[in-house]
Amino acid sequence: MKDLKILVVGGGIGGLTSAIALRRAGFTVAIVEKDPDWSVYGVGIIQQANVIRAMSDLGVVDDYIDAGFGFDSVEIYIPTGQQVATIPSPRLVPGYPANLGIGRRALHRVLGDRALTAGATIRLGVTVTGLEDDGSGLDVAFSDGTTDRYDVVIGADGLYSQIREHVAPDAPAPAFVGQGVWRYNFPRPADVTALCAYDGAIGVGLVPLSDTLMYMYVTTPEPENRRYPRSGLAAAMRGKLEGQPPRIAALVDQINDDDAVVYKPLEWIMLEGPWHRGRVVLLGDAVHATTPHLGQGAGMAIEDSIVLADELLQQDDPESAFTAFRARRIDRCRYIVEKSKAISFGQTGQGPRVDQSKMTHEMFELTARPI
């Protein structure tokens, strides 16, 4: 299958790493991204050792590390502000840190630039309006009125995937967990040199992103799944931070720009049935979206893209590659979704409280295994 012509639907994290991995395998790759501005919100993301290994496999690790802030442990604090644990995380790529905090826009730039220089094409403001699979290829119609024929279509179009409706029309809708997360960027104080996680009914984390920048996340119970208007968002976030320890409280006054607050209700989905139909396959959040409690959602999407490209190279036909891809990925992705959900439910009283240090240790161990 050396000459496959592949359409990737979605130019987010998983779509871009797919494009890079597929180009490295020698396939022809076109991406369509429905957002005409290809915009990404301005806070950050935590990535762990398995993701740094994946970036090394993709050949982008130096640009990627340069764009973020590396660190080798996670600091755990209790709500009083006392530090109770430092969890060392294993380095999987010699000479590179175990974890990286990176701005989402910085990550997007690294991956977008590499996908394009590797020879993928991208059309912005375009989506798929029709898919006809005749068994030997796919005729695809696009929202800009054009049509084209492909050997394979990859749905990397996120939590509310349109391509999932083609692959698994009976899939359950994404489910809300009763929690939301608030994020905000700050200048990085010199003592924030690792992920600092404050466990409690309101979870707070400080994540270094560069020499000068960090972001704060705050997870809050949101049983009614309230929609917060943009106007007043900063005051609403400040209100969620009452009673926090001095290090967090000292930052609260800086939260004053409604447009810089990123609030999201937390949702998950896990497709237990097939991840493909005919020549169309799903990856990333389209097939297994997790709450962020283990900081591994994007990591799973990135690993997916490497495994999928590998199986397309190794197998004799797309459907065998898709079946092998799912078999290699489903247990690890399900683990991340289920354990993240368990932490969330423990925090909101919907399930037993989870020892987050122990769970983080276990997750490091599991994700260190080869993909």
Ligand X SMILES: Cc1cc2nc3c(=O)[nH]c(=O)nc-3n(C[C@H](O)[C@H](O)[C@H](O)COP(=O)(O)OP(=O)(O)OC[C@H]3O[C@@H](n4cnc5c(N)ncnc54)[C@H](O)[C@@H]3O)c2cc1C
Residues lying near ligand X in the complex (CB under 6 A): 9-15, 32-35, 45-47, 127, 156-158, 162, 181, 264, 284-286, 292, 295-299, 301
DSSP 8-state class, residue 44? E
* 281/301 with CB nearer ligand X: 301
* 1/333 with CB nearer ligand X: 333
Euclidean distance between CA atoms 184 and 342, whole angstroms: 25
Q: State the nearest-atom distance from the C-beta of 262 to ligand X, in Å.
A: 8
Q: State the nearest-atom distance from the C-beta of 253 to ligand X, in Å.
A: 23
Contacts 24+ apart (CB under 8 A), 174-177: 174/267, 174/268, 174/269, 174/289, 175/267, 175/268, 175/269, 176/225, 176/265, 176/266, 176/267, 177/266, 177/267, 177/268, 177/291, 177/341, 177/344, 177/345, 177/348, 177/350
Write the CB contacts of 237 (distance below 8 Å, at least 6 apart in sequence). Answer: 182, 184, 218, 255, 261, 263
Q: State the nearest-atom distance from the C-beta of 174 to ligand X, in Å.
A: 11
Q: State the nearest-atom distance from the C-beta of 303 to ligand X, in Å.
A: 10
* 1/306 with CB nearer ligand X: 306
Q: Where are the beta strands (DSSP E) in the chain?
A: 5-9, 28-33, 44-47, 68-71, 73-77, 83-88, 99-103, 121-124, 128-133, 138-142, 147-150, 152-155, 175-187, 195-198, 203-208, 213-221, 262-270, 276-277, 280-282, 288-289
Q: State the nearest-atom distance from the C-beta of 80 to ligand X, in Å.
A: 25
* 164/238 with CB nearer ligand X: 164
* 1/267 with CB nearer ligand X: 267
* 33/199 with CB nearer ligand X: 33
Q: State the nearest-atom distance from the C-beta of 265 to ligand X, in Å.
A: 9
Q: State the nearest-atom distance from the C-beta of 51 to ligand X, in Å.
A: 7
* 302/321 with CB nearer ligand X: 302
Do residues 10 and 156 touch, judged by C-beta distance below 8 A? yes
* 4/363 with CB nearer ligand X: 363
Q: CA nearest 280: which of 231, 319, 336?
A: 319
Which ranges of 210-317 does DSSP label H, i.e. alpha helix?
233-240, 246-252, 297-314
> Given the DSSP bridges, would you call strands 147-150 and 213-221 parallel, antiparallel or unpaired?
unpaired
Q: Which residue has the tokens 């036909």?
A: 317
Q: State the nearest-atom distance from the C-beta of 368 to ligand X, in Å.
A: 15
Q: CA nearest 16: which of 88, 96, 153, 122?
A: 122
**Nearest residue relative to ligand X (C-beta):** 12
Q: State the nearest-atom distance from the C-beta of 352 to ligand X, in Å.
A: 23
* 244/290 with CB nearer ligand X: 290
